[in-house]
Amino acid sequence: MSDRGPLPRFLLGVGAVVGAGLVAVGGLALRPAGLVAVGLAAVVSSCLAAGVARESRPERSAVVEAAWKAGATTVGVLLLLSGTAVLGGAVLTLLVAGAAAAAWAVAALVRGSRAATTRAAVAAPPMPAPSAPLPPVSALSTGDLGREWVRTTTALSGPLDARSREAIVARRRETLDELERRDPEGFARWLSGVPLPGSDPSGEMRHGDAAA
């Protein structure tokens, strides 16, 4: 349902009726050569619109729609100007042409502004959800410390910003320090085995509970 009020709808209806009358007068007033010129102008504008649409939207339906709309608009505008010239003379024709050009420019600016706003809204990345704070490593069991080491190893292999990478590296350092503090000998055995980057160090530890 349209959200326009009664007055805008009435004015649009009157404008449509007046425009249709001027188009009819213009078509009747033109000689055959003038009608041929209008047809050629419509063909040219249709071809140009189809070429532009093919570059931006290669779907056949979009190309056909752009072509016939451009052709119909060209015919309507030329016949409208012809009818205006017949009834009102050159001065009124210039005024109508200027008003039509201004209205087209304003509509194009409004559409461009809306499209830019839509693109910006689509392109803007969603705000990341706040993540829950990690528990301190001293509160984790030795098995959880080993899993934390494996988890952070996997996290470092993915794409990260500088701040996230720095936080993960600091977490790994805290994890290793806590493992070494709980069982220095087991930690040394794990290191002496030249562990793989994602290996779980908790298997070498004797103490599985969090330190008091």
Instruction: State pLDDT tens for residues 16-53.
Output: 777 787 778 777 777 777 778 878 887 887 788 777 77
Q: Exposed/middle/buried for 33, CB within 10 Å: 0-12, 13-18, 19+?
A: exposed
The pLDDT of residue 177: 93
The pair phi, psi for residue 127, each rounded to 5°, is -65, 130
The pLDDT of residue 211: 46
The Cα–Cα gap between 23 and 37 comes to 15
The Cα–Cα gap between 201 and 210 comes to 15
Intervals of the chain under pLDDT 70? 1-5, 7-8, 11, 15, 56-58, 90-93, 96-131, 206-212
The pLDDT of residue 25: 77
The pLDDT of residue 1: 46
Residue holding tokens 């298997």? 203
Tokens of 193: 């085995």
The pLDDT of residue 124: 43
The pTM is what?
0.39
The pLDDT of residue 174: 93
